Structure 1
Amino acid sequence: MTAFQELIAYQRETEALSHISERLGWDQETMMPRGSVEQRAEEMAALESVLHARRTNPRIEVWLTRAEAKTPEEARFIDLVARSYNRETRIPARLASELARLTSLSQGIWAEARAAEDPSAFLPTLEEVVRLKREQAACLSEGDLYDALVDDYEPGVTHGELGEMFDRMRPRLVALREKVLGADRKVAKLDHVFPEATQLRLARTAAAAFGYDWTRGRLDMAVHPFCSGSGNDVRITTRVVESDPFNCIYSTIHETGHACYEQGIDRQHLFSPLGRGVSMGVHESQSRIYENQLGRSAAFAGWLYTRMVDAFGDFGVDSPDAFYACVNRVNPGYIRTEADELHYNLHIMMRFDLERELIAGNLEVADLEEAWNARFEADFGVKVDRPSHGFLQDVHWSVGLFGYFPTYSLGNVYAGCLNKAMRSAVQGIDAALAEGSAKPATDWLRDNLQCFGGLRPPRETIEHACGFAPSEEPLLDYLEEKFGAIYGL
């Protein structure tokens, strides 16, 4: 075999082992018995040691030196393997194993502390996670520590660029929020009990409407909804609050967006670096456009309203228009995953600032809760009433995902661009959504973005799909038009 063929074969086995590790993580959050946490942590650490050894194998450098790319796809394959090799060889095997073990343990500790509203049970573990992430960042960094972590989720983007984007977005978001909250037109909140089993049936119906392939996936329950897997095994999770069916339904649609991206990648790329979503920002563009521009549209809300009445009877909303407004109700709530489209990015900006300070060492873990509560009250005008509504609400920091949060807002920006391009290119999107089918929209997304997987860098992926360079303007224009109409501004 040629050097390139040998590299492909070696990488295929590494990717397969990585899929196994991901499946263990899925099992830990959905099926694993509570008493198995420590054993699973050892399993994850052992598997990470094997993966780290493979990813840093000196033979990779030899193959990279000798491999000759004959097509753009082969060149991109080589670039992605080289990027991984350069990154992994900077991280000591001991650190990679310690991080895998600790974050596996930490996740369970966080979940129990969250359920008990007991920050003191989690803070010592979080302090250790932050220490190891700072050490990891120092191994990778050629400058700013936080940039080294962001690069793991959105290659090529710096915290400076993200901060500038947030600075451009904040004034328009805050101004629109103030107009909405001061509007004479008020939107009712649901006040009804929605049984769990019925919510889950409706969530499955919604996932199918957005094209989720149930022959290659499944839906389970988790403390924090997520999507796991790629190719022919892509699993989604959701959660249920019986007073709030939107939590379940729209979390499911959100995760379906992630899943359809992975299911939509050309299968010839399976078990290769091209066979996964190119970045978390691009990934979030899919989950957010499915959830918001499509799932919270007037057309789909009208279809969902009929399904809700069939499933739950009279639940206090008397028309599709009132239901559409209810689905998009603006409220400065505590929980990021339940936030309306206006407040969501403000949630992300707060987390972005706090975790930058943590990684830089300017904010200590012991002071995190106080800093969170003060910032939340300043940004949202509401005092945090309990830790699970505050800094304990998200799973990300417990599992070491520092640098991940800003990709949610970047995904919103990308989704705004994709929505603009898609609606210019495709007729009949709303007509289909009104019939309970997202197919015209999801076909366009699959053909113009999803099928390519990691073939292009993130911004190029969006620009190729849209035909123009991404910016925050289409998102902000969409929000102003949508909420201006709902609230009669």
Structure 2
Amino acid sequence: MPETAWETLSRAMAEIRALSGASALLQWDQETYMPPKGSGARGDQLAAIQGAQHERLTAPPVAEALARAEAERTADPDRAAALRVLRFDHDRAARIPGDLVRAIAQAQAAGVDAWKAARDTGDFGRFAPALERLLALRREQASAYGAPAGGEPYDALLEGYEPGMRVARLEPLFARLVSWLVPLVEKVTARPPPDDAFLRGRFDPEQQWQFTLELLDAVGFDREAGRQDRSIHPFSLGLDPGDVRVTTRIFEDLPLSAIFSTLHEAGHGLYEQHLPAELRRSVLCAAPSMGLHESQSRLWENLVGRSLPFWRAFLPRLARRFPALEGVSPEVFFRAVNRVERSLVRVEADEVTYNLHIVLRFELELALLRGKLAVKDLPEAWDARSERLLGVRPAAARDGVLQDIHWAWGELGYFPTYTLGNLYAASLFAAARRGVPGLDDELGKGNLRPLLGWLAEHVHRIGRRKEAEDIVRDATGNGLGDRDFEAYLTEKYGA
């Protein structure tokens, strides 16, 4: 008996998911344990797997089965959602030739290798050729996708991370953010900074590592369904709800780096672990957008991890590992971890300045895609925008244009999702406070599970059954906007 259209699609989705997991595992290994001389072969391996994934998604039998399944009526909401998502993924992938998919995968592997070498030496020139190649390929990709009606090439790439988002919507949103963030930065940094002398000195790396594992357990990250390792740039990858990889980085003189990197990546990891496992072989077992994914990492890192209730519970645990902190009160520690500074490095930035770092990158990416900025001029353009938006100018490329790994992957269009995540996070946390009685009291006791339960119900377990903004609107009553975020920062830092 021949397969039904849905059976053909179900088998294809399972294979695509399996290939995606294999690709993610290779990428995780590349950033953690792969020996330096393995980069050449890794590029070939990723190209082969991602090429096979692309071929499976765009295969004629899949296209035919998709058309037949869409023509049939279905009362199953999950099947209807899967068909919608498959149509989006298929049509987008079908516009890209397989040779281009493989070329991008190889260029990404070479780009990461070149970025690491350039970062080690502080020489942007060692990365520039690889970035030129990635930019050319992304332009070719954007052209193949085609700009959406009334849009531009950047929209075609942005769509891959945040479906439905457009430059025309981002530019006024970011302009509004800058209009009130810059004065807030000026106001807060004009005050005497909070005391953080107790955070200076040597903090044993092994004790830091053990505390990050304690944090993972506290937030509900299942270490039987995931693991944490170390990398230059913290990241997370979900192979499956039962296999989620996160990383952190540890500096013996910067104890907050490991703490907040772990909380951030744990937020991503919790999302991946609580995706609908019953749909693990379906395209629905994923987040609908990177902005919504980022909302989870920023929520746990900032709205929880930088809150006073959190440190009332966890400062005594940290002080047991580092006796120098025993005399510090939660209130003093809370002020120290919320210190606002005009800093250079995005991943170490405070909540008030962070989105200005994103605006900087968004402006540069737009200029690159629009052909108004050459790669060779990127370091100077970066430095000038850093001075304009943040009031500081990098003295070295590793603290400026070379600080992020994203362009080494050619991820043009990804950075705006960080700010979208911050905005969604503020709205979701405000809604969780309304929906979970005594939430702050529970956080103050170190009981983080009620919050995780609310997020799992209202965000994680939905997967791609709905669009990102619809998920947020259903959970909070509002779509994308900066009002909740502005109220949160103004209340917290205006006090």
Q: TM-score, normalised to structure 1's length?
A: 0.97
1:151 aligns to 2:153 (yes or no): no
Deviates more, 1:117-126 or 1:60-69: 60-69
**Residues 1:185 and 1:52: Cα distance change in structure 2 (over 3 Å):** closer
Moved more, 28-37 or 296-305: 296-305
| Structure 2 residue matching 1:43: 3-state secondary structure | helix
State the alpha-carbon separation in 2 of the partners of residues 116 and 184 from structure 1: 36
Deviates more, 1:150-159 or 1:170-179: 170-179
The counterpart of 1:365, out of the listed 375, 379, 386, is: 375
Q: How far apart are residue 468 of structure 1 and its match?
A: 2.7
The code of the aligned residue for 1:118 comes to D
CA distance in 2, matches of 1:390, 1:315: 32
CA drift of 1:308 comes to 2.0
| TM superposition shift of 1:185 | 5.9
Verify: 1:95 aligned to 2:105, yes or no. Answer: no
Q: Find the counterpart in structure 1 of residue 468 from structure 2.
A: 458
Q: CA deviation at 1:316?
A: 8.7
Contact 2:319 2:326 in 1 (8 A): no
- Deviations along 1:319-355, one digit per CA (max 9) or x if unpaired, are 1111000111101111101100000000000000001
| Match status 1:175 vs 2:180 | no
Write the distance in 1 (CA, Å) between the matches of 2:281 and 2:30. 23
Q: How does 1:377-416 map to 2 (within 5 A)?
A: 377-416=387-426
Deviation at 1:435, TM superposition (A): 2.3
1:222 and 2:231 are equivalent in the alignment = yes
CA distance in 1, matches of 2:220, 2:52: 36
- Note the C-alpha offset of 1:184: 4.4
Distance 1:299 1:115 in 2: 39
Q: Give the residue type in structure 1 aligned to 2:38.
A: S
Write the mapping of 1:315-354 to structure 2, written as runs, cut at 5 A: 315=325, 318-354=328-364
Equivalent-residue separation in structure 1 for 2:7 and 2:97 (angstroms) = 28
Q: Distance in 2 between matches of 1:104 and 1:434?
A: 44
Equivalent pair of 1:301/1:327 in contact (CA under 8 Å)? no
CA-CA distance at 1:62 after TM superposition: 0.9
Aligned match of 2:40? 38
Q: Which residue of 1 aligns with 2:56?
A: 54
Paired with 2:320 and 2:351, the residues of 1 have a C-alpha distance of 27
Match of 1:274, SS state, is coil
Question: What TM-score does the superposition give when structure 2 sets the normalisation length?
Answer: 0.96
Residue of structure 2 aligned with 1:240, choices 225, 246, 250? 250
Question: Could you say which residue in structure 1 is the equivalent of 2:12?
Answer: 10
Q: CA deviation at 1:290?
A: 0.8
Give me the whole-angstrom Cα distance separating, in 1, the residues matched to 2:281 and 2:230.
27
Percent identity between the two aligned chains: 39
- Aligned-residue offset at 1:426: 0.8
Output the amino acid matched with 2:365: E
User: Matched residue pairs, number?
Assistant: 485
Contact 1:234 1:263 in 2 (8 A): yes
Q: 2:114 aligns with which of 109, 112, 117?
A: 109
Show structure 1 runs of 5+ residues with no match.
Answer: none
1:275 maps onto 2:277 in alignment: no
Does residue 1:162 correspond to 2:170, yes or no?
A: yes
Match of 1:197 among 192, 206, 209: 206
Amino acid at match of 2:144: C
Give the whole-Å Cα distance in 2 for the aligned partners of 1:182 and 1:469: 34
Residue 138 of structure 1 corresponds to 143
Aligned AA for 2:84? Answer: D
| CA distances 1:292-313 after superposition (whole Å, capped 9, x unpaired) | 1111110112222212211111
Specify the code of the residue in structure 1 equivalent to 2:491. E
CA–CA distance in structure 2, aligned partners of residues 459 and 134 of structure 1: 27
Specify the code of the residue in structure 1 equivalent to 2:222.
Answer: D
Q: C-alpha offsets along residues 26-85 of structure 1, whole Å, 9 cap, x if unaligned?
A: 011011111111011111111122112111101122111111332222111001111111
* Cα pair 1:192 1:315 within 8 Å, conserved: no
Q: Is the 8 A contact 1:192 1:316 kept in 2?
A: no
